[in-house]
Amino acid sequence: MFRIVKKKVLNPSVKLLEIEAPFVARKAEPGQFIILRVSDEGERIPLTIADYDREKGTVTIIFQEVGKTTMLLGALEEGDYILDFVGPLGVPSHLEGIKRAAVVGGGLGTAIAYPQAKKLHSLGAEVDVITGFRNSSLILLEDELKKVSNRLFITTDDGSNGNKGFVTDVLKKLLEEGNKYDLVIAIGPLIMMKMVSQLTKQYGVKTIVSMNPVMIDGTGMCGGCRVTVGGKIKFACVDGPDFDGHEVDFDEAMRRQAMYRVQEKKSLEDHVCRLGGVFNA
């Protein structure tokens, strides 16, 4: 059992939980993830490690309430317990030797981009962070990102924060201005990572994306998390989740992502919460 030591609501649908998990915290690195199960009858879901504190023995996860399990997770409070919290899983991001990087986060992907930027900053790299959200009420981790970046650019689709546009607009402008990056890291919706990768390929800039397909066991045995990279089958849980964005077959990944939407919607509609109400999709 893993105790929740801190809970924070980041926006109307996104929550942060700091979990007491000393053995996971001891080994965790940016880019890795955990697989958790809320209760005995619950499903296993992967969540990227958003932060960790080795001294306190805690691991931070940030998630959006979009399905049955994340809603159950979001209903827990400080002092409650999570049944399973397995990790760290996946291959840590390779960030050593990078002198200048652009870290791009889209929506909830910003929570995953944060530890990457934090690590690069701690290694002495110059870091530009670009994040994008639908509107200003959904902006995440602005203060935290300011501390680990040399420049922070926040865009919104509707311009409600005074900076209308997409992350690709900002990145393209920076590249056109002659900014040279050793690495671009893009984390967020598949379509956003695809667009970033297509842009950086034109400029010959190495680009890493973080893939988060359906996962079950986290050991490569089930094959559910397979992605095609450079024409070869890879498994995100053991070969990734970081991959070369210029080689990922994003169209295939998007088709696979949509495969279980009907089942996910039905599971959510059938779920009755602890207060007796029904969660609607």
> What average pLDDT is seen over the chain?
88
Distance CA 61, CA 104 (A): 19
Tokens of 222: 């089930």
Q: How many CB atoms lie within 10 A of CB 118?
A: 20
Sequential pLDDT tens for the chain (281 residues)? 899 999 999 887 899 999 999 999 999 999 899 999 898 888 888 898 999 999 999 999 999 888 888 898 888 999 999 999 988 999 998 899 999 999 999 998 998 899 999 999 999 999 999 999 999 989 989 999 999 999 999 999 999 998 899 999 999 999 999 999 999 999 999 999 999 999 999 999 999 999 987 777 777 777 778 889 999 999 888 888 999 999 999 999 888 876 665 555 555 555 544 444 444 43
**Bond preceding residue 92 cis, omega within 30 of 0:** no
pLDDT, tens only, 129-139: 999 999 998 99
What domains appear along the chain, each with residue ranges and CATH number? 2-89 (2.40.30.10), 100-210 (3.40.50.80)
**pTM for the model:** 0.85
pLDDT, tens only, 95-127: 999 999 999 999 989 988 999 999 999 999 999
pLDDT at 125: 95
What sign has the CA pseudo-torsion 220, 226, 196, 243? Answer: positive
Distance CA 117, CA 92 (A): 14
pLDDT at 184: 97
pLDDT, tens only, 168-183: 999 999 999 999 999 9
Q: How far is CA 176 from CA 33, 209, 245, 265, in A?
A: 34, 22, 20, 43
Kindly state the percentage of the chain with pLDDT values over 70: 91
Relative orientation angle of helices 250-257 and 190-203, to the nearest 10 degrees: 180
